[in-house]
Chain A
């Protein structure tokens, strides 16, 4: 092959090689970005699926419309008290008429609503919590892993809890009582 032909082929191959390398680098960057996004999504899913809440004890008070319960956070992550309004509490009970009822109760720290629930205290193995303690006015603090949340919940005056009842609590991240 003459020098002209060789030169043209060499130039063409060099250009193609350079373009290919550039494209490969871009493709690798794109793939890397997609991979990172996938990992992040999986991590977010993992955050939402872990742990559970465990009802340690519950008791009905004498007015037959109020209950107190202690619920333990077992690996569900730290839940800010500012997010407590996103916690679901459903009380299922049988009233004196024999009907089974289910009511979703709103978080009501002041206790003013006709029905609702509020926090009594947070403890760790029976003693005051040390990690991220809740302020007395409930303006700050976290319900952390391993800590037990004592609550009081009440239903409307037109209803009563005759005998058995149960609670379902769901944390803001979807973790629920077992």
Chain B
């Protein structure tokens, strides 16, 4: 076989190998990306499920500056004190929106654990907290819409009429 022909074939073989490797690399990368996306999706789903809550009942009366909200942990993981304090209370109604953060003053909310049977200070699954939302102005008669939002964005809504 002439030397020139051998070189050509060798070059073609190398080129074919490089092309095959490149295509395989692209294919593997795409598959990896799909798998990563699915893992992220499941992780997101898990976090949304792990931390969930449900407003059982809310109570207030016309002229009061306090709304009591009972919220149950319906997720699968407990929340530490720090995570509970990152929650938010949103009250819509009376032609305005009130946005309350955790605190001790007016226009804030605080909580107490009602059935912390293991006394670990955590808001464990199935346990309930009593949230006291303190407003700077008394509630007028009417319909209100309450939202309790956890640190991860999971929220529970409740309609309250006073």
Contact = CB atoms under 8 A, between A and B. Distances in A.
Given A23-B31, A170-B72, A106 B114 contact: yes
Given A38-B45, A102-B57, A176-B56, A88 B70 contact: yes
B13 A8 contact: yes
Contact of A2 (B6, B14, B49, B114): B6
Instruction: Say what secondary structure dominates the interface of chain B.
Output: helix
Interface string A30-47: 110010011001001100
Nearest to B127: A86
B interface residue count range (under 10 / 10 to 19 / 20 to 34 / 35 or more): 35 or more
Contacts of B70: 88, 90, 104
Given A104-B70, A170-B72, A27 B24 contact: no
A173 B42 contact: no
Nearest to A107: B115
Contacts of A81: none
B17 interface: yes
B65 interface: no
Interface string A18-31: 01100100010011
26 contacts: A1-B9, A4-B6, A5-B12, A8-B14, A9-B16, A12-B13, A16-B20, A23-B28, A30-B35, A37-B42, A41-B46, A45-B49, A48-B74, A83-B126, A88-B72, A88-B115, A88-B128, A92-B57, A92-B59, A100-B59, A100-B61, A168-B57, A170-B128, A172-B126, A174-B74, A176-B56
Interface of B: 1, 5-6, 9-10, 12-14, 16-17, 20-21, 24, 27-28, 31, 35, 38-39, 42, 45-46, 49, 54, 56-57, 59, 61, 68, 70, 72, 74, 76, 114-115, 117, 126-128, 130
Pairs of residues from A and B, 5 with the lowest C-beta to C-beta distance, nearest first: A102-B59, A5-B9, A172-B126, A86-B126, A12-B17
Given A4-B13, A5-B12, 5 more contacts: A1-B9, A12-B17, A86-B127, A90-B57, A106-B114
